[in-house]
Amino acid sequence: MAEDKVVLVGADGSPESLGAVDWAVARAARSGWRVHILCAYSLPSFTTASLDGGYAALDDTAIRSGAQAVVDEAVTRAQGKGVTVTSSLETGDPAGVLVDLSDEATLAVVGLPGCSVERSGDGGPQRVQKSDVPVGGGALVGWYVVTQPTAGTFHAYYAACPHAGVKVNRIEGQEIICDSHGARFSTDNGAVLKGPTKKSLTPAPFTTDGDVLVITMPKEKQ
């Protein structure tokens, strides 16, 4: 990319990436910057099984053509809005290519499907059977995470990742994981085990009603 102010935006044809294009254009228009639209694609090292039981090589031309169509759609969307628009196709891991090229950009923008689906949602009271929370792990219940690190010891957290408000989506052993950005938290105390966030999960208050935990929204999230 040239030595100028540029907003780099990744395009993959998804509604989220087209939304990122719109945002990038609006941001560039305010400052007189250029928008550069990037689509990166990987070439499979092998191939798909054919109907006769053999293997058929995937056609690089077809894959590139599809990627070019993605770029063309994004460029068409960005044109006519008072900014200079350039584009490129690259081969390689899309995330890796974007990270590499972002070093040359003023600003890099991507659309995140995980962020668009469930973000900082309604956390009304939830009733959870203690027996539904595995020892040494936990369970996702609505907008809460309930864990039982050791037998009989329970913790509850608001399930919104502090990084972008996306709901954490799985528990693996003693780690609560947000796959949208890779953050990991401890089931024992909600502390950050891996960024990008530096904030712990917010504890959620709960009471015990026999064999049931009644979890409520943290006051700061109400």
CATH for 6-111 is: 3.40.50.620
Name, in order, each residue with C-beta under 8 angstroms of 163's C-beta and a sequence gap of 6 or more.
Answer: 178, 181, 183, 195, 196, 197, 199
The region that residue 85 occupies, defined by phi over 0 for left and psi between -120 and 50 for alpha, beta otherwise, is beta
Q: Among the residues of 92-140, which ranges form H helices? A: 94-102, 113-117
Ordered per-residue pLDDT tens for the chain, 222 residues: 445 889 999 888 877 788 889 888 988 998 899 999 999 877 654 444 444 444 444 456 767 788 888 899 999 999 999 999 999 998 887 877 888 888 888 888 887 654 433 444 455 688 999 999 999 999 988 888 999 999 999 999 998 888 777 778 889 989 999 887 789 999 999 999 998 888 999 999 999 999 999 998 877 655
What are the extents of the domains in the chain? 6-111, 126-221
Q: Are strands 192-194 and 153-158 parallel, antiparallel or unpaired?
A: unpaired
Its CATH architecture, for the domain 126-221, is 3-layer Sandwich (2.102)
- In this prediction the pTM is 0.48
CA-CA distance, 102 to 189, in Å (whole number)?
35
CA-CA distance, 106 to 147, in Å (whole number)?
42
Two structure tokens written together for 218: 């943290």
